[in-house]
Structures are given as structure tokens and as C-alpha cells.
Amino acid sequence: MNNRIREWRLERGLTLEQLAKALGTSIQHVSRLERSERVLNQNWMEKLSLALGVSQADLLVSPNVVPGGKPRPGYFVQDDVEIRLLNYWRTLSPQAQEAVLLMLDSWANDRFRAPGGNEG
């Protein structure tokens, strides 16, 4: 699975050596994690998120977003509202994200099935 460890490490101005020391591991191991040559399990996700000061989700988010939550040029985000929504979404736990999706699905189904519902 591709990850953004290297992006975040560079964004934070850290060397491989500095991050390895913070994680209590070798430079080689960090380098392999960055290149997805080692499994990024829950234990490593927790350590990396603390060391880099990001959420665990930020280690794996879309490559269309640069560190700091800003969309890459040419990406689909159109305005500040969408950026705010994406940034908020990243702070939610997987369970909270699922709850939000269920609410949105329910709202959309009700809206589009209701007589005289606005479809636009």
C-alpha cells in the first residue's frame, strides 16, 4: 500500500536518521516503510503519526492532496468549503466517517424519493 511517510517527513524537515531515532528503529527500516517494502501495521501507523504530528489517515490519504491538506494543482476541489470538508473528514475516526456516510445516504435517498423533492 502506498503511503505518504516520505512526504510528511520532508514537510517536517526531518532526515531519515532523525525520524528513525524518534521511532526507535533503523534508517533502513524507515526507508523501507516509506517505499512500502515493509508492512505499515497499526503499531507503525501509531508511532509514525505521533512522530510526524499527523493523523494516521494522513499517512495514507489520496495522492491528490499535499501535506497540510491543500489539494494538488488541477485536482477537483473547487473552493474553500470543499477544502474545509476534506480537512474535517480527515479528523474523523473510521467509525465516525461511516456514520456520516450513512446519514448522507439516508438524507440523499429521502430527498430524491420524496414527492416534489429537489433533484438539483
**Cα 120 to Cα 28: distance, rounded to the nearest angstrom:** 53
Same domain, 50 and 88: no
Is 68 part of a structural domain of the chain?
no
Same domain, 15 and 45: yes
**Residue 119: what pLDDT?**
47
Is 72 part of a structural domain of the chain?
no
Same domain, 6 and 56: yes
Same domain, 5 and 39: yes
Is 49 part of a structural domain of the chain?
yes
How far is C-alpha 100 from the geometric centre of its chain's CA atoms?
Answer: 17
Domain count for the chain, please give it. 2
Closest CA to 58 of 12, 116, 118: 12
Residue 51, domain extent: 1-60
Is 69 part of a structural domain of the chain?
no
Same domain, 48 and 91: no
Tens of pLDDT, residue by residue over 59-118, are 886 655 555 555 455 445 456 777 778 778 888 888 988 998 899 888 877 766 655 545
Same domain, 29 and 3: yes
Record the cell numbers describing residue 113, joined without a space.
424519493
Q: What pTM, to 2 d.p., does this model score?
A: 0.53
Largest Cα–Cα distance of the chain, in whole Å?
63
**Cα 5 to Cα 45: distance, rounded to the nearest angstrom:** 10
Is 86 part of a structural domain of the chain?
yes
Same domain, 3 and 41: yes
